[in-house]
Amino acid sequence: MNIDLLIAYLQNKFNDEAFTIGLYQCVLSFLVACFVAVIAIPVVIKISELKSLMEKPGERRSHSTPTPTFGGIAIFAAILIGYFLWPSLDRTDIYSTNLSIVGMTILFFIGIKDDLVGIDPAKKLMFQVLAAMILILFGDLRVDYLYGIMGFHHIQPAVGVLLTCFIFIALTNAINLIDGIDGLAGGISTIASATFGGWFLLTNHFTMACLAFTMAGALLGFLRFNFSKTSKIFMGNTGSLIIGFMLAFFAVRFVNLNAAYRYEPTAFFNAPIIAIVILIVPIFDTLRVFLVRILAGRSPFSADRNHMHHILLDNGLSHAGATAVLCGISLFNTVLFLFLHRNISNTLSLVILGCLFGLYMIVSFTLKMRVMYVSTHPRRRKAVLRRELQNGIVGRRIVDYL
């Protein structure tokens, strides 16, 4: 990416009245959503305590005291208020964004039921498909162009529908799966939504930008309490489902708009690769965990402590430390690909991602083996347990090292 051209482009943008108004709207939506989340979460915490709606510690839990798990309610309210408070500046995406609110609302109620009494996985999947298909069929939202990756360009409508539905299901559940330690799902999602929002803003898709920055603001307000020691709250399935769904919506729309305007100077000719890189941590972690479970002869949906954040915790990192490492990886890869994307082809980018995934597997395996080695050597085990206790982590012996 040419820095001089980028600076000149941004200077021209700030001289554009429509862009300036859109920027103000995005900033205000971000601040309003953050404020609503900060105001609403203490109320949710108080009600959860009064009604004993707390998540208790368990073998696979990373917390040691009962904690409220309905942060998703405040996130949902903050997104709605921050987004609908202002009139839309452009009509291009207003219908699809409104449909995304419909899908998000469906998953909001499914998440609440799941957090309260649990829900059958098949039913949860069915409602995820329903929410995705509302956008795909009524909003005509689907991936229909693959930018020449592995030789594929335009794809058939039926294949595009199935691929888009798969993307929604995969990303929705990927965010749900990484929501295991303080700040991880919220931090990754904040970075991703702000990145997508920045591109939407620079390309004058103000409605999409406003929605993306609104979600980033709501998540930032939530993170203030997610990291708190005295007023902690989790986003729960309610939060992870709606956030994963909205990130899938941003990713698919990002790919679509780059295909429609691929001859514009602001377009990415490898938008699918960029979208994967922006969400690289949840995608890689989900792929790795499923692969490890299958190779071990277990169901890919079985519960264990094989997620990367669990491995980092077992190696002595605190919640904040593990979150900082994974969010740093996400941010570093995003910035790197954004600056280098014009110098490599899509197929080569896919090969690079495959190599990065292989490296991810090697590092995770090495860290798991280290935990096993420590657990079998008393002196090292005592040192690690002492450090874990200082970080507020309960020491665990990892037997299944795969």
pLDDT tens sequence across 164-179: 999 999 999 999 999 9
Residues 122-154: tens digit of each pLDDT: 999 999 999 999 999 999 999 988 877 777 788
**Domain ranges, ordered by start, for the chain:** 3-390
pLDDT of residue 398: 35
222: amino acid identity, one letter? F
pLDDT class for 382, splitting at 50, 70, 90?
A: low
Distance, in Å, from the CA atom of 106 to the CA atom of 119, rounded to the nearest integer, reads: 14
Q: Is 285 exposed, middle or buried (0-12, 13-18, 19+ CB in 10 A)?
A: buried
Contact between 143 and 160 under an 8 Å Cβ cutoff? The reply is: yes
pTM: 0.88
Strand partners for 193: none
Strand partners for 228: none
Instruction: Assess whether pLDDT exceeds 60 at residue 242.
Output: yes
Q: What would the mean pLDDT of 185-204 be, rounded to a whole number?
A: 94
Distance, in Å, from the CA atom of 350 to the CA atom of 358, rounded to the nearest integer, reads: 12
pLDDT of residue 1: 47
146: amino acid identity, one letter? L
pLDDT of residue 271: 86
Residues 211-238: tens digit of each pLDDT: 999 999 999 999 999 998 888 999 999 9
Residues 245-277: tens digit of each pLDDT: 999 999 999 999 887 766 566 667 888 899 999
